[in-house]
Amino acid sequence: MPIFATMKKLLVVLSAWALLISCGPDVEECAFVPDTAAIHVNLKVDALQDSLPAIQTKQELVHFLGVHPEIRDVFLNRDKYPSDSAFVNALFRRFTNPYIDTLLMETHRVFGDGSSLKKEFEQAYANITFYYPDFHPPRIQTVITGLESDIFVSDSLVIIGLDYFLGKDAKFRPNMFEYMLRRYNPDFIVPSVMLLTGVDSRFNQTDPNDKTVLADMIGYGKAYFFSKQMLPCTPDSVLIGYSQREMKGCRENENLIWSRFVEDEVLFSSSHLTRQKFIAERPKTIEVGEQCPGRIGQWVGWRMVQKYHETHPDTPLSGIMGIENAEQLFKTSGYKPQVVKLGK
């Protein structure tokens, strides 16, 4: 396609998104709030954030790593080092550096005794138990690692690097783009864990042989839908990591977004480049518009799953999450925003 024609097509889209500049945030209502009054969650939380900064000798460090192998191997990335001695020496230098004391003080300031965070997890896990009665909550470990890792989730263990989530006023912050940093404040911890739980194959059934963009969209869409059921009063913007303005723009321009997917034949593409444009992490999806946030295909997948839920109200959460066939879910959802001619 000639460059001018491509630019003209983009101008049509960009001008529409530019109208969002003056839009303020909208107000969301809670989703269905399950009655969990009779559900008791026995949640074990190991508050280890004081442990590593308190280490005085390498022997103490080796002992800690031996007691907590998941933190050693997964969270502190043992396999990145050529030997055990190199690993221990690097960690000892890190955890005896004065900046760790600053991280620890700020962690105490932001999270206090951790009771508020524990209460959030207890409610989220009670909600999971409401939908999945056989669910057993994982053990939670909270640590500070000198900004090594943020979150690890398995069926039996969740590890949280609290120093990643100190917020915009922290002296030390993770080394990443500004648009990504907004997800690293305390309000995002439980939503992030719920999203990673919703991706887990224990809940989210997918077809590993389906390599289409649509399969990824529906997979992510089901994970976000799962997260919303577990955190029904958490704003969608927090669940997906968009600003309120971006979230409002997506809703108001859904037909524009969908038109780009239709015109560019995105859904059934198995192209890596197409997946990078519409699914992967990036600041903006410029193919849709200069104000359109990245990962927009994940949001569209979420909308498809929401629409399926609306048109199949008798299907339980486990039934929706158990649909492996992404194309089937999409086609039976009734999701079909009005297509707008974008120009050639």
Chain centroid offset of residue 273 CA: 22
Which of 10, 92, 84 has the alpha carbon at shortest distance from 288? 10
d(CA 229, CA 75): 28
pLDDT tens digits in sequence order for the chain, 344 residues long: 333 233 333 333 444 444 443 444 455 779 899 999 999 999 999 999 999 999 999 999 999 999 999 999 999 999 999 999 999 999 999 999 999 999 999 999 999 999 999 999 999 999 999 999 999 999 999 999 999 999 999 999 999 999 999 999 999 999 999 999 999 999 999 999 999 999 999 999 999 999 999 999 999 999 999 999 999 999 999 999 999 999 999 999 999 999 999 999 999 999 999 999 999 999 999 999 999 999 999 999 999 999 999 999 999 999 999 999 999 999 999 999 998 877 54
Which of 158, 43, 163 has the alpha carbon at shortest distance from 97? 163
d(CA 343, CA 260): 11
d(CA 267, CA 265): 6
b (16+ CB within 10 A) / e for 19-41 = ebeeeeeeeeeebeebebeebeb
φ, ψ (nearest 5 deg) of residue 157: -150, 135
Q: Alpha helix locations (H) across the chain?
A: 3-18, 58-67, 69-70, 84-95, 98-111, 115-131, 178-181, 189-199, 213-230, 236-240, 244-252, 254-263, 272-278, 296-311, 317-321, 326-333
